[in-house]
Amino acid sequence: MKPWRPWRLRRRVASFAAFGQTETARPSMRNVVWLVLLFAVAVVAALTLGDNTGMASFYWSGWRLDLSLNFFLVAAIASGFAVLTATQALSSLVGLPARAREWRGLRLERAAQAALREAMSEYYGGRYSRAHKAALRAIGLRDQVQTLANDHDFRMLAHLLAAGSLHRLQDRPRRDEMVQKALRLGRRGSAATVDDGARLLAAEWALDDRDGPRAEALLAELQPGVARRTQALRLKLQAARLEQRPLDALHTARLLANHQAFSQTAAQGLLRSLAIEALEAAHDADQLRRAWQRFDAADQRDPFVAARAARRAAVLGVPDEGRAWLRPLWDALDSLGSDGRSEVALALVDAAAGLGSEWLARVETAQRSHPTEAAVQAAVGAVLVECQLWGKARRPLEQAAQDSGLAPRARRQAWRALARLATEEGDEARAHECLSRAAAID
């Protein structure tokens, strides 16, 4: 606690007293100033008019009127003030109806603006029925105000608030009617910004209704600059995914990633999932090939995407193309990380059918570089089996089959390859044991 210091209290009291004295002194100072000005005018008038002996004479039909010049000047000034006051009073009287109309219009305009603000506050407060009524009241008041006759922004905002409230209330027919009115107003008026907002909102509501074609039609009407905005691209992405067009969705997601609309991790996961979805949508080798060619270089360098493409190529009967897509990643195996290496290696196991001797040097280098990774050893064993190098294939296959951390499917494939190896060597008991172990893996 701070020590008691009485001089601080006295200082504050003195400051408040001085402030009060200043506030009360202001009217008296104003009176003093006016009094000084009055004295100055009196002094100037006395010095100017005191010794003035001039006369003002007026002649009219034999009559003559003599006035002192001082009286004439005072009378002329007073007459001027009187005429000016009478003119202003007459002008005010004549313009009274116009001012009354302006006052009524201003009152209606304020009421319309207040209704619009009320609609916005009720809408954001979650009271959508009240927001809809307030928006309709704003539209009705707007039609009565001449100053708002050309204010398209006001009317469009009111229509959008009413439509948004109806959308929240699940009243789709009336919502669509309001949206159409707003869009027609945008075409007639000059409210380009609000018109773009109306289309974006209508597209978003169409996506909420799972109506992809309508959303895409609304987005197609946007200006090129507006269509590149982040919100428009997000809506395009949702529409493409809703219509199950993963390649278009991938292209849009790539644009969003370039605009930094997602975090780096989220963008990578989204792009990867869309690329894999596009690969899974291919039903023959030609579709798979076209999908792969439409990928960006970044997608083709993704080990998870390339691995899924190689597996899909093996399923569709073109494993050689799948291996061609894996080859650049296999050559840079050290830079992929453990998860990436595992995906590429297991994909090579699935696409090893018909593999030739050109892969031997690559897999032997990988075997020496990663001797403890079971996925790489499984790939090495699969390649050696395809090349019928049974003696070299045994050790990497056994290492992969006995590693419990490896994926069950890869372990089963390793045990089956060992069973095939035992069959080639004529050891049927060993082959039966390997197949039993493969069947026992969940």
User: Which tens digits make up the pLDDT trace of 414-423?
Assistant: 888 888 888 8
Question: Does this model's pTM top 0.95?
Answer: no
Count of residues making up the chain: 442
Residue labelled with tokens 């869009």: 183
How would you write the pLDDT of the chain (442 residues) with one tens digit per residue? 444 444 444 444 444 444 444 444 556 888 888 888 888 888 877 777 766 677 778 888 878 888 887 788 888 889 999 999 999 888 888 888 888 888 887 888 888 889 999 999 999 999 999 999 999 998 888 777 766 666 777 888 888 999 999 999 999 999 988 888 888 776 554 445 677 888 899 999 999 999 889 999 988 888 888 888 888 999 999 999 998 888 899 999 998 988 888 888 888 889 989 999 999 888 899 999 999 999 988 888 999 999 999 999 999 989 889 989 998 988 888 888 888 888 888 888 888 887 878 888 888 888 888 888 888 888 888 888 888 787 788 888 888 888 888 888 888 888 888 888 888 878 888 888 888 888 888 7
The 10 Å Cβ neighbour count of residue 379 is: 34
3-state secondary structure of 65: strand
Residue 110 CA to residue 132 CA, distance in Å, equals: 19
DSSP SS3 for 411: helix
Within 50-95, where are the H helices?
A: 69-94
Cβ atoms of residues 158 and 138 within 8 Å:
yes
d(CA 66, CA 363): 131
In this structure, are residues 253 and 226 in contact, taking their beta carbons and an 8 Å threshold?
no
CB 281 within 8 A of CB 267: no
Task: Give the residue from 387, 430, 395 showing the smallest Cα distance to 414.
Answer: 395
Q: Closest Cα partner for 413 from 433, 397, 432? A: 397
pLDDT in tens, 168-190: 999 999 998 888 888 877 655 44
C-alpha to C-alpha distance for 396 and 414, rounded to whole angstroms: 9
Q: Which two tokens stand for residue 172?
A: 């789709």
Query: Are 303 and 291 within 8 A, CB to CB?
Result: no
Cβ atoms of 134 and 141 closer than 8 Å:
no
